[in-house]
């Protein structure tokens, strides 16, 4: 393995063993204090490798700077990754496994638990034959989302410090908490950060480059039923569970996430609980197209209005809250930053895989806060679950892309 690969592996294995899972039900910021465990470690590490302006604030944002060593007038570039892991699966007691010289066949992650990465289900893994694959041990996620991104940024900065002959402008880096629960940049000070534009290292497989994402909204619906003894219920009972089912059936079946892809949006029911007396449903609404996004929100409202008319009273109440918007609108005026990343990949022999994000990143919100911020691959796959893995060689390629982008800003 190369020196960079060794550094990446050492850092990733260290970072993923620190539990940084965020909590969507928390009222604090960051949502979990344990995210400071990684934040404080990173502050120490960034100081040790020689970065300046290193610190962590009360909100858990870790920031640092690498001063310019070029006399040319160059833009200040930022690179960001997030420290938290998803609430979907435990990030506690992560036991990373390293499979060297992968043979291209199924990977048994945990024989006792019967957990195997099957090539027939995840055929892309066979593309990494001969490489080093990192997984967890089968009962947690790995946390390469986004600790691989952190390792890549830190390693790239260390490489620049160790090789002062590589000329560059000022570089800012930031590691954020709570991205996985949609609050990653709630308190981020874009002006203080001081970058002209930035890139998040939070993408998936080798070559991913993304500058457009979903418009997103969350919907909370409460249904007030009327519980009557079933023996005397005729004409009187309003079963909130059945009303909830009726409401859900009025939304287009073909616009569910399991039936959509690429630029197709969806209604996704994420929570349902209730009794005859009361029920509650939560949805997320997603669409890349702003007009279609607005129509989806209107359809929810129309369906609720129709049900209330049917029962001749307001038994259904709702709240719709926009969460983030498609960054494309903010990135297109400075599209050279996408072209710059694309050219960097091509120069390195990487085929750019430019596609819309079927989700969101901190970069989407940052773009609307005045910091245009496309997203670059980290190399990982199967995020948020026990089948998560990342090829070490893809991580090294991500470091090379960071360095090549920086190099291109000076030329």
Same-domain status, 179 and 92: yes
Q: Please state, in angstroms and rounded to a whole number, the distance separating the CA atoms of residues 302 and 66.
A: 53
Tell me whether residue 100 is exposed, middle or buried, using C-beta atoms within 10 angstroms of its C-beta: 0 to 12, 13 to 18, 19 or more.
Answer: exposed
Same-domain status, 113 and 256: no
Same-domain status, 272 and 289: yes
Q: What pLDDT score was predicted for residue 165?
A: 92
Same-domain status, 307 and 223: yes
pLDDT per residue over 219-270, tens digit each?
Answer: 999 999 999 999 999 999 999 999 999 999 999 999 999 999 999 999 999 9
Q: What pLDDT score was predicted for residue 175?
A: 98
Same-domain status, 19 and 115: yes
The whole model's pTM is what?
Answer: 0.90
Residue 229: which residues within 8 A CB-CB, separation 6 or more? none
Same-domain status, 155 and 19: yes
Please tell me the total count of domains within the chain. Answer: 2
CATH assignment at residue 278: 3.30.70.360
CATH assignment at residue 156: 3.40.630.10
Same-domain status, 279 and 356: no
Q: What pLDDT score was predicted for residue 136?
A: 97
Same-domain status, 318 and 336: no
Q: Does 84 qualify as catalytic in the annotation?
A: yes
Among 301, 324, 347, identify where a domain stops.
Answer: 324
User: Token match 């502050």: residue?
Assistant: 43
Among 290, 324, 358, identify where a domain stops.
Answer: 324
Same-domain status, 106 and 208: yes
Question: β-strand 208-210 against 278-287: which pairing, if any?
Answer: unpaired
Among 291, 324, 357, identify where a domain stops.
Answer: 324
Q: What pLDDT score was predicted for residue 300?
A: 97
Same-domain status, 103 and 49: yes
Dihedral over Cα of 25, 27, 28, 30: its sign: positive
Q: Does 278 qualify as catalytic in the annotation?
A: no
Q: What pLDDT score was predicted for residue 361?
A: 82
Same-domain status, 57 and 199: yes
Q: What pLDDT score was predicted for residue 88?
A: 87
Angstrom distances, CA of residue 361 to CA of 103, 105, 253, 358: 33, 32, 27, 10
**Marked catalytic residue, from 19, 145, 158, 179:** 179
**Marked catalytic residue, from 19, 45, 84, 393:** 84
Containing structural domain, residue 331: 3-212+326-410
User: How many alpha carbons lie under 13 Å from residue 303 in its C-beta half-sphere?
Assistant: 19
Same-domain status, 76 and 131: yes
10-residue averages of pLDDT along the chain (411 residues): 94 98 94 98 98 98 96 94 94 96 96 95 96 96 97 98 94 97 93 97 96 95 96 94 97 96 95 96 96 98 97 96 93 96 98 91 92 97 95 98 95 75
């Amino acid at each position: 393995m190369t020196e960079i690969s060794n550094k990446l592996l050492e850092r990733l294995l260290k970072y993923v063993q620190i539990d940084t899972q965020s909590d969507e039900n928390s009222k604090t910021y960051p949502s979990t204090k344990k995210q400071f465990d990684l934040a404080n470690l990173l502050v120490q590490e960034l100081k040790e490798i020689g970065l300046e302006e290193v610190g962590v604030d009360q909100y858990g944002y870790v920031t640092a700077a690498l001063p310019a060593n070029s006399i040319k007038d160059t833009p200040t570039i930022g690179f960001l990754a997030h420290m938290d892991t998803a609430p979907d699966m435990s990030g506690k007691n992560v036991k990373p496994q390293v499979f060297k010289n992968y043979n291209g066949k199924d990977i048994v992650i945990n024989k006792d638990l019967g957990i195997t990465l099957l090539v027939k289900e995840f055929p892309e893994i066979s593309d990494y034959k001969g490489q080093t694959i990192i997984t967890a041990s089968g009962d947690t996620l790995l946390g390469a989302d986004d600790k691989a991104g952190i390792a890549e940024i830190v390693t790239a900065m260390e490489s620049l410090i160790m090789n002062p002959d590589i000329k560059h402008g000022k570089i800012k880096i930031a590691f954020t908490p709570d991205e996985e629960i949609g609050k990653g940049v709630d308190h981020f000070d874009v002006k203080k950060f001081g970058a002209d534009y930035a890139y998040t290292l939070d993408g998936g497989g080798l070559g991913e480059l993304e500058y457009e994402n979903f418009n997103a909204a969350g919907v909370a619906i409460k249904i007030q039923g009327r519980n009557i003894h079933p023996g005397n219920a005729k004409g009187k009972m309003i079963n909130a569970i059945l009303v909830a089912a009726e409401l859900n059936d009025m939304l287009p079946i073909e616009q569910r996430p399991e039936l959509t892809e690429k630029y197709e949006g969806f209604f996704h029911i994420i929570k349902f609980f209730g009794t005859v007396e009361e029920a509650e449903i939560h949805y997320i609404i997603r669409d890349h197209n702003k007009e279609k996004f607005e129509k989806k929100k209107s359809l929810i409202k129309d369906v609720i209005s129709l049900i209330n008319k049917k029962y001749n009273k307001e038994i259904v109440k709702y709240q719709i809250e926009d969460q983030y918007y498609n960054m494309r609108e903010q990135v297109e005026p400075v599209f050279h930053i996408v072209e710059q990343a694309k050219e960097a990949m091509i120069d390195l022999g990487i085929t750019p895989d430019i596609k819309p994000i079927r989700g969101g990143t901190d970069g989407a919100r940052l773009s609307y806060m005045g910091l245009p911020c496309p997203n670059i691959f980290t190399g990982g796959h199967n995020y948020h679950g026990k089948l998560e893995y990342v090829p070490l060689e893809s991580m090294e390629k991500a470091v090379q892309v960071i360095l090549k982008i920086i190099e291109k800003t000076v030329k």
